[in-house]
Structure 1
Amino acid sequence: MDNRQAVGSWLSGPRAAMEEAGADLGYRGQQLGLPEEGPGSIARPGRRLGALAVDWGLCLLIAYGLIADSYNQAAQVWAPLILFALIVLTVGSVGFTPGKRLFGLRVVALNTGRVNPLRALLRTVLLFLALPALIWDRDGRGLHDRLAGTVEIRI
């Protein structure tokens, strides 16, 4: 293997490197009984980040327009609190935030389908710790989803 192949496999991630070595990992969500593509399949990271960016922007607008005296105060104090409340309340009631809805995503519980408010609170606390959201399993679920027993799917 030349250096370009080694660097390419490293940039593609461990999953791609394992598949190149001959391991059959299946598709994301197969172990969970989810379809490979279309509605009900695992949400891709780009859509998830896009939804989070929309929600963050919405919370900044709310904080700046309704609460804070300055943009700096809105960004540092109020917007994270509003985002936390937004995620807990909307995911715990309808399963999605405005950003997730815009990107065609929904959070569901693996065993019941509906995310209850306590599960949404646990998932959001872990999401705000950041590190659990950066640790993913082979299905593309973050540690915050695994510990809360949820999965983010396409609708």
Structure 2
Amino acid sequence: MPRIQAATVAEHRSLQRRALLDAARDILASGAPEAPSLSAVAQRAGLARPSVYQYFRSREDLLEAVIADMFPRWSAFVGERMDGAPGAAEQVLAYADANLELVAQGEHAVMRGLAMAAPGPPSPSRAGSCTNSCACRSSRRSPGPERPSHSTWPS
């Protein structure tokens, strides 16, 4: 029986899950050409491969968990920068600056890895959940001009 390395079983499971998410993120950030296997993630986390299945049913389940873990943090980072900007123009600059900082930190490599690992076209529900918080945040601050419908945008 494996040793529990925390005060409680729940805390141990939380630490193991975090280690697996961090390992998957590290592999994605390394520029691997395809999604990491559960075996590779387990090895990077220092766990036995069968242990991964206690936390994730499949590679897709793991990647969805990485997305669910990372996008709210990215969105919060960008949102905090935008919240500190006094006007609409400054909010746009804060948005761009925050995203460039994420690129400089290497976060874009994780995003690229997730995009390369995606089994099909992006799901609107997943894409919406990670972009809507910043868009909603911006629309709450100042009314500004109405956005044109997509049909009136130049092609």
TM-score, normalization: structure 2? 0.30
- Structure index of larger Rg: 2
Higher strand share: 1
